[in-house]
Chains A and B, each alone.
Chain A
């Protein structure tokens, strides 16, 4: 074996950017392990309860960038009580002592208090980037600490958080000396911001590339901002209520004309659809368009806009685009890679948004499509089979039929064959969500063909334990499995308990798993946390072992049951 000086090894490892590659390198030998751990600056932890902060710090002493995820994915859909956990404070407290050089923190689905943000802003003099996605627990006071104390802040990115807005002029807390901002996203905030402070901040940050405004920023201010920051590449408009023939409209149009670099557009929380032509000047360069929060923009206006966007790679829209609009997407957006169509009327049997026809058109017209999230009223096996044939390159395929057990609307058959075609054809499929009427057969197909599958979401599907077993036996690369309202019970859960140590987590709610099943699993697998999440109002003192478990969350961990579990969460 050739021996390299550690500096050389470290330099070589610098070229390994993916966590998996670095993890693999650290397993080669003790010397590589040592060099790798001392030179690792970026760590990603997919489940904050898989290890403690102390263990992280012990292994990687020089971390500058940490990404952490907290609550399970189904927390996004109100299936996890708020106080379940995922607190970031212990992490920040531990890092404050050991990582003085921390520069970046990215959190998803975690509880972040104002106290945590205050500590974060004071403990790390070099702090540069804070990204909070789907987090909660903080107010604009916490943001004010970040603004005031992080002297070299480059990125403050708030995506879809629940923030208690105290309207405390947090934006004004950025000192005049702050000129380093590259990315600022406060689109999810509900309250007003000081518009003058915003304009001045934008004017003094020449490197600002990404700016996403919230609903309180009116079109006139957007116009002034665009004039001051024509170098913007990513823009989230706030409110765009304008009178079309007015001076404001003309000014906004010419401001957009001057923005030669905008590639990504989103927002439009409120908008006068007839003002959308102001945006046309930048459409031909757009690669990313997200209008999923703009229900005011209906089918025709949407279609007219999209006709100008020939370079789109990513499109997120509401289903008011209709099958007709998707046909326009198919003929216009030949570079499309990712499509998300959200329901504008989330009620079962509500207004028909899109059907299988729209999906088929896009599959024909957009050969590069590989990532899909599609909410629709109906689907057929034939359509899915056609889509599978046209787009064999899907890596993410998430289909949600709004009526949970709806069969193929032409043949009344389950949709097993359609999804079967998808998994058979798309050999690189990493993420799959199923819906509609489905029997155990679809899981047989998934187990047989979905070799690269890493994440599977199942709801209202299957007939028996066999379904779940097909998946657990077949999908060798499965990392996350989340199941709700399926007839899978203890037999399925306990047949291959070792499997769960190869996965990040398993979620099962409203299934047939019992308390006894959970106890047995916990006993056999000490390195798993088997959590039962009870209904806060309905906890019984001595539950019967035969009782079915409403919500179970199982995850591998090196550090045993967590100490911050609330009383309605039982770790078996």
Chain B
């Protein structure tokens, strides 16, 4: 079939459905709308809610499935995979470790390394004529070869990198 669901208005398109407990309003009729929403005054009686902010269960108008998905997402941290690699700077015996997954791109990586090692780090995007006080970033790939960082797309780099090394620019 492959037809997208939720098409024209005359067919049954997707909608939400009530799964939370009944939204019985405990407010008396003479309270204003603002109170019923629990927006401004603490004496209001908010409707059943699943969180500490006393959000009414009928506003904003989103479906229960979305509401519960968002609530769950807020309640526990997302499990993120990490990818720590060793980083050595030439001439410094003690290395560091860096989570490559914490970065989106080469720029972020260079910036972090620059802070970590207090130097200007270059990679192939920015490689200029060598200068005595800058360094170049290299990496060891799956095949054991040492390559300059920056030539391949970031995602591809992540799949082949094993460790990083910051070498003096005049050696490249």
- Given the complex of chains A and B, what is the CA–CA distance between A109 and B16 in angstroms? 8
- Report B's interface with A, CB cutoff 8 A: 1-6, 9-20, 22-25, 29, 33, 36-37, 39, 47, 53, 55, 57-67, 69-70, 73-74, 78-81, 83, 101, 104, 155, 158-160
Cross-chain contact A134 with B1 (CB below 8 angstroms): no
Cross-chain contact B159 with A264 (CB below 8 angstroms): no
Nearest to A314 among chain B residues (CB) is B4
Q: What are 5 A-B contacts defined by CB distance under 8 Å?
A: A76-B17, A78-B18, A160-B16, A264-B2, A346-B60
Q: A296-B73, A343-B60, A431-B9 are in contact. Are A261 and B2 (CB under 8 A)?
A: yes
Q: A261-B2, A287-B4 are in contact. Are A293 and B17 (CB under 8 A)?
A: no
Does A180 touch B at the CB level, under 8 Å?
no
- Which residues from 107 to 137 on chain A have a C-beta closer than 8 Å to any C-beta of chain B? 107-109, 131, 133-136
Which one of B12, B62, B159 contacts A77 once the chains associate, using CB atoms below 8 Å? B62
Count of A-B residue pairs with CB < 8 Å? 184
Contacts of B58 in A (CB 8 A): 77-79
Cross-chain contact B13 with A293 (CB below 8 angstroms): no
Which one of B2, B9, B29, B64 contacts A162 once the chains associate, using CB atoms below 8 Å? B64
Cross-chain contact A485 with B33 (CB below 8 angstroms): yes
Contacts of B101 in A (CB 8 A): 244, 274
- Given the complex of chains A and B, what is the CA–CA distance between A535 and B71 in angstroms? 26
Least Cβ–Cβ distance between A290 and chain B, in angstroms: 9
Contacts of B78 in A (CB 8 A): 296
Which one of A155, A249, A348 contacts B39 once the chains associate, using CB atoms below 8 Å? A348
**Interface residues on chain A, size class:** 35 or more
Contacts of A536 in B (CB 8 A): 22, 24
Contacts of A431 in B (CB 8 A): 9
Contacts of B158 in A (CB 8 A): 244-245, 274
SS class, residues of chain B in contact with chain A: loop
Shortest 10 CB-CB contacts between residues of A and residues of B? A233-B2, A134-B17, A162-B19, A78-B23, A295-B73, A76-B16, A108-B12, A288-B4, A77-B61, A209-B1
For B62, B74, B104, the residue with the greatest tally of chain A CB atoms inside 10 Å of its CB is: B62
Nearest to A375 among chain B residues (CB) is B60
Q: A272-B81, A274-B158 are in contact. List 17 more A-B contacts (CB 8 A).
A: A73-B15, A76-B15, A77-B62, A81-B23, A133-B17, A134-B15, A134-B17, A160-B63, A188-B65, A241-B81, A245-B160, A295-B70, A300-B104, A346-B62, A346-B70, A404-B37, A455-B9
Q: A107-B12, A188-B65, A343-B60 are in contact. Are A79 and B17 (CB under 8 A)?
A: no
Least Cβ–Cβ distance between A56 and chain B, in angstroms: 17
Contacts of B15 in A (CB 8 A): 73, 76, 108-109, 133-134, 160
- Which residues from 71 to 122 on chain A have a C-beta closer than 8 Å to any C-beta of chain B? 71, 73, 75-82, 106-109
Least Cβ–Cβ distance between A266 and chain B, in angstroms: 9
